Structure formats: structure tokens, C-alpha cells
């Protein structure tokens, strides 16, 4: 196998070997790989090369972080926390104001609806009276009728309408005589 594979395609064997090195193979598959490693020299060489590359990463120096980083990080977080609290307090005051406005608006609305309902209730009896006004104006005449059927007979005879008032006046005159 050539080592000069600048952009070697990832094949199943490579994936299998990498997973084997990372301890990610199922036990049965692990056993198969180990059996092949015992018999297959190129397969073994491929594994060694992958392992060597992996071990080279240990050459990288580990980051050494000073205490000042911890301190500045805590300061940043503390400032952010203070800003969050300030923002919450401002938001709470705004929410309280909005709540009072809402309560006031609801109260006014309720008062308005109540006034309207009461106004309608007072007006209704008056409306009833207005509707019954023609009856009330001629109540004296209606007292002479015994029943509705009698009135209907009189209406058929054409005795209602403008003549009704004249008829009443004539009847009164005849009584006086």
C-alpha cells in the first residue's frame, strides 16, 4: 500500500480500523478485526500507520491557562448577571405599570357597560309606554267594547279610523240630550 495517498478515499476498511482503534466496534466485529490482524500483514501495517498518526497528535502542547483568565471570566459573568437583574427590575416596573393600566381600562369598560345596561333598562318601560300611547289616548273608547271580536266586527263595518273620534263625540251628545 502506498503511503503517498494525498486524498485517500475513505473506505470501509479504514472506517473499521479507526473504529477499532477508538474502541467503538461491537465485540463480534472486534474479534473479526483481530483475527484478520493476526493473518494479514498489509492490514496490520495499515492499522499501525493510523495509530502512528494518532499518536503524533500528542506532540501538540496542551493549553496552559492562567488564573487571570478565570478571574476575568468571573468578572464578565458577574457583569452580565448584574445587567440581567437590572433588566428584569426595569421589566418588572414596566409590567406593573401595564397591569395598572389594564385594570383601570377594564374597570372603566365595566362601568361603561353597566351604565349602558341600566340606561337600557330604564328606557324600556318608557318605550313600552310610547308604543302603547295610541291605546292609552283612546282608552275611554275601548272601555265601551266588550270584546276584541266586537271591535273586529266594527272595523269590518268601517266604523274605525277618523270616524271613530266623531262617533264618540256624537254618542256623548245624544246622551246629554
Partner 1 sequence: MLEVRDDNAAAFEELVRRYQSRLIGVLEHIVHGRVQAEDLAQEVFLRVYRARKSYVPGAKFSTWLFTIANNLASNALRALSRRREVNLTAMAGNDSGAQSLEQMAAAASGLMPTRRLDKTEMAEVVRLAIESLNERQRMALLLSKFEEMSYIDIADTMGISIEAVKSLLSRARLNLRAILAPYVEHGQLPEPRELRGDHRQ
Hey, what's the torsion of the CAs at 44, 47, 52, 58, to 10 degrees? -140
Whichever of 35 and 73 has its CB closer to partner 1, that residue is 73
Alpha-carbon distance 97 to 93, whole Å? 6
Cell of 177: 240630550
Residues near 116 by beta carbon (within 8 Å), at least 6 away in sequence: none
Least spacing, CB of residue 5 vs partner 1, in Å: 5
| 19 exposure class (CB count in 10 Å sphere: 0-12, 13-18, 19+) | middle
Contact 141, 168 (CB under 8 A): yes
Contacting partner 1 within 10-29 (CB under 8 A): 10, 14-15, 18-19, 22, 24
- Taking CB under 8 A as the criterion, the residue among 73, 86, 104, 124 binding partner 1 is 73
Which of 52, 126, 147, 174 binds partner 1 (CB under 8 A)? It is 52
Q: Which stretch binds partner 1 (CB under 8 A): 8-16, 124-132, 142-150, 164-172?
A: 8-16
Q: Which of 72, 90, 128, 170 binds partner 1 (CB under 8 A)?
A: 72
CA distances from 83 to 73, 74, 91, 92, 129 (A): 15, 14, 12, 14, 69
User: Total binding residues for partner 1 by CB under 8 A?
Assistant: 37
Binding residues (CB under 8 A) for partner 1: these are 3-8, 10, 14-15, 18-19, 22, 24, 49-50, 52-54, 56-57, 59-65, 69-70, 72-74, 76-77, 80-81, 84
Amino acid at each position: 500500500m502506498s503511503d503517498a495517498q494525498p486524498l485517500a478515499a475513505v473506505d470501509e476498511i479504514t472506517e473499521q480500523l479507526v473504529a477499532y482503534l477508538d474502541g467503538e466496534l461491537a465485540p463480534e466485529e472486534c474479534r473479526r478485526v483481530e483475527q484478520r490482524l493476526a493473518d494479514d500483514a498489509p492490514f496490520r501495517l495499515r492499522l499501525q500507520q493510523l495509530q502512528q498518526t494518532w499518536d503524533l497528535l500528542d506532540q501538540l502542547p496542551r493549553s496552559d491557562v492562567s488564573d487571570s483568565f478565570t478571574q476575568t471570566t468571573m468578572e464578565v459573568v458577574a457583569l452580565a448577571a448584574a445587567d440581567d437583574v437590572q433588566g428584569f427590575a426595569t421589566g418588572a416596573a414596566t409590567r406593573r405599570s401595564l397591569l395598572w393600566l389594564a385594570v383601570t381600562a377594564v374597570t372603566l369598560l365595566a362601568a361603561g357597560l353597566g351604565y349602558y345596561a341600566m340606561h337600557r333598562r330604564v328606557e324600556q318601560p318608557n318605550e313600552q309606554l310610547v308604543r302603547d300611547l295610541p291605546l292609552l289616548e283612546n282608552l275611554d273608547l275601548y272601555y265601551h267594547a266588550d270584546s276584541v271580536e266586537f271591535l273586529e266586527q266594527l272595523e269590518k263595518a268601517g266604523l274605525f279610523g277618523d270616524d271613530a273620534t266623531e262617533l264618540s263625540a256624537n254618542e256623548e251628545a245624544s246622551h246629554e240630550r
